[in-house]
A = this chain, B = another copy of it.
Amino acid sequence: MNIFEAENLYFLGPEGTYAHSAMQKFVKNLDIKVKNIIPVYPITAVFKAIEKDKNAIAVLPIENSIEGIVRETIDNLVKLEDKAFKIVAETVIPINHCLMSKATDKADIKEVISHAQALGQCAGYLCKNFPNVRITPASSTSEAAKSLQDKDETHAAIAAEVAANLYGLNILDRNINDVLDNKTRFILLARGERPATGYDKTSIFFSVNNEPGALFNVLSIFNMYKINMLFIDSRPSRKKMGEYNFSIDLEGHQTDAKVEAALNLAAEYTGNLIITGSYPRFKD
C-alpha cells in the first residue's frame, strides 16, 4: 500500500493560510493522491477527524521559528489511539506576508485589513508606506483576504500568497514582514513508515521523573551512541506532579543499528517512550 494515497487529506484550516501552502507542497513533492482535501480547525479537530477516518492523511504545524513548538500537535500525536499514524515527512514554509488588493496601485489604498499578529509583524512596513491608512483587524489573514471580495479597490489585506490566488487578488508587495526569517515547520501524518534515505530524523516522546540526572541518563545514551539531537522540548507532565515530558528529534533513521540500540536502551530509563515518526529531514 502506498502511504501517500488516501481517501481524504485534512489540513489545518482555514483555506488560504500557510498550512494550505504546506499541504500543496507536500502534495506536489510526494505525489500525494487523495480524493478530498478538507480544511479543519483547530488542531485538535484535525486529530479527531483522522481518528474516525481509517483512510486519511493530515498536514499540521509542529514548530514556528518565532513562536516555538506547537504542543497541541505533539500532545494529540502522542495521545492518538491508532498508533499506526506516524510523521512520514516534514517541510518548512517561510512566513512571507503579502499586501493584496483588487487595486493594482498602492496609491489607491485607504484601509488595510489582516490578523492582529500579521499587522504587528508588518507594523514597520505599514508606518513607512501607509502612514495614513485605516488599520482593521480580522480573525485570520485568510479571512482578511476573503473579505476583500465584498469591498472596493481602496481596501487591501495582508495575507499569504496562496490567499491572493484563492480569492483572485493582485499582490501589491511581497515579503513585507519586518522580522524576516520567520518560518513554520509542518508535518505530514499517515498510516505507515518511511524507509531510511540516509538523511533522516527520528522523533520521540517520553517522560522521566523530575530528579537530578533523570534526563541526563537518557541523553547520555544518545551521546554514547554518538547520535546528535536536532531538537528538544521539555515541560511538566500534567498527569503526575514531578514528572516531565520530553520531545526530542534525533539524527538518523529508527532502523539504523545505533539508533535502534540507543532507543532500546533509552526505553529502560524512561516512561512511555513513543516513536512518533522516522522520516527524511527537510532540505532547503
Q: Which residues of A contact B (CB under 8 A)?
A: 41-42, 44-45, 63-72, 75, 115-117, 120-121, 123, 137-140, 143, 179, 181, 210-213, 215-216, 219-220, 222-223, 226-235, 238
Contact = CB atoms under 8 A, between A and B. Distances in A.
Contacts of A137: 139-140, 143
A67 B65 contact: no
Nearest to A228: B212
Contacts of A220: 216, 220
Contact of A68 (B117, B143, B233): B233
Contacts of A72: 66-67
A67 B223 CA distance: 29
B69 A68 contact: yes
B67 A71 contact: yes
Contact of A211 (B66, B228, B233): B228
A67 B66 contact: no
**For the complex, would chain A's binding face be called helix, strand, loop or mixed by DSSP majority?**
mixed
Contacts of A213: 223, 226
Given A181-B238, A211-B228, A219-B219, A71 B65 contact: yes
Given A70-B67, A143-B137, A212 B232 contact: no
Contact of A232 (B63, B71, B116, B233): B233
Nearest to A210: B228
A147 to B, nearest CB: 11
Contacts of A120: 41-42, 44-45
Q: Which 8 A-B pairs have the closest CB atoms?
A: A137-B139, A42-B120, A68-B69, A216-B223, A68-B68, A68-B71, A212-B228, A232-B234
A42 B117 contact: yes
26 contacts: A42-B116, A42-B117, A42-B121, A42-B123, A65-B235, A67-B70, A67-B72, A68-B68, A68-B70, A68-B233, A115-B139, A137-B140, A139-B139, A212-B223, A212-B227, A213-B223, A213-B226, A215-B219, A215-B232, A216-B220, A216-B223, A220-B220, A229-B234, A232-B233, A232-B234, A233-B233
A44 to B, nearest CB: 7
Nearest to A183: B238
Nearest to A124: B44
B116 A140 contact: yes
A226 to B, nearest CB: 5
A235 B216 CA distance: 19
